[in-house]
Amino acid sequence: MERMKAGILWRRWTARVGESAWIGLLLVNLATFTWATNMTLGRWLRESIGPLTLSALRFLLALLCFAWLLRSRPHEERRPGADAPLLLGMALAGVALFAPTLYWGLRFTTAVNATLINGLGPLITGLLAALLIREPLTPRQLIAALVGLVGVIVVISNGSLALGEMLHGNIGDLLVLAALTLWGIYSVLGRKVMARRSAISTTALSMALAMPLLIPAALVEQFSFPVHWRSEVALAVLYIGFAPTVLGFLAWNEGVRRLGPGGAMMFYNTLPIYGALLGHFLLGEPLGLTHFVGGALIIGAGLWAARAGR
């Protein structure tokens, strides 16, 4: 009887949610999962390939995929046009600087820490949007940002109250925070650009404009950090170039279309959950009390802030 009642309630709930919402839920979770695997693999590859080289190969592979998607788009979608200054800013902040900073940070911190800290990303973006393009910042978002920041401090400090020791011993965590800030700038600039052109065009052009910076930097890096190619390294680079960078992007945007921005952001914080589990089970990284406490604060703050825009 209880099983029958549960089945009836389940069918009623799924009918109310609708097939489109279910697909949207699966898509945003697919996106966050692929982004979590990027951090896990970035940590795993730290001794095999330099951050500049990995970034250049990642975005070069992704750019080939986006160029194929853009081939049938209108001519205006394939040219920067009047958006060139903003696209250059996106290329510098979100491609040329963001990815190398993230992968550099992953050389010094764990994938568990990096993905938990990444849960602060939407709140950082909200704060930057308020500062740079005067988007309204609600009291709920401000409180959530402060709570999330406390969570990040808990994760970084590992329970230590010595600020100097914390900052000196966790350069990787601070680099991940810097990468999130760069990604926030990229996202804010992207909002302005995508008011006039498609997300695919915006992403492809920002990647293309970053290549003249990333490719020479990657070539110079070979003198101090040559790639140690193995079959598994090549497969990991191919995966990073396609799954998180292309598939994750497309899945997220379609999920946003189906769920709305607020509904999609409700599930963004599955990323630190997936990342912490992947880092623990695949890389053997420890999960301690500070990770659970700090992660709960970060994820809880993000969910609470996202509910306002659901």
pLDDT in tens, 45-77: 999 999 999 999 999 999 999 999 988 888 888
Give the residue extent of every domain in the chain.
23-307
Q: Give 14 or 254, the one with higher predicted confidence.
A: 254
Residue 116's pLDDT band, with cuts at 50, 70 and 90, is: confident
pLDDT number for residue 15: 53
Q: Rounded CA gap, 260 and 129, in Å?
A: 18
Mean pLDDT along residues 158-162: 56
Residue 151's pLDDT band, with cuts at 50, 70 and 90, is: confident
> Encoding tokens for residue 165?
């020791």
pLDDT number for residue 7: 57
Mean pLDDT along residues 16-29: 74
pLDDT number for residue 198: 86
- Residue 199 Cα distances to 24, 243, 257, angstroms: 17, 17, 12
Closest to 241 (Cα-Cα) out of 104, 68, 63: 63
pLDDT number for residue 136: 74
Long-range contacts of 62-70 (CB under 8 A, 24+ apart): 62/207, 62/241, 62/242, 62/245, 62/246, 63/204, 63/207, 63/208, 63/211, 65/242, 65/246, 66/200, 66/203, 66/204, 66/207, 66/246, 67/204, 69/200, 69/204, 70/200, 70/201, 70/204
Q: Kindly report the pTM of this predicted structure.
A: 0.84
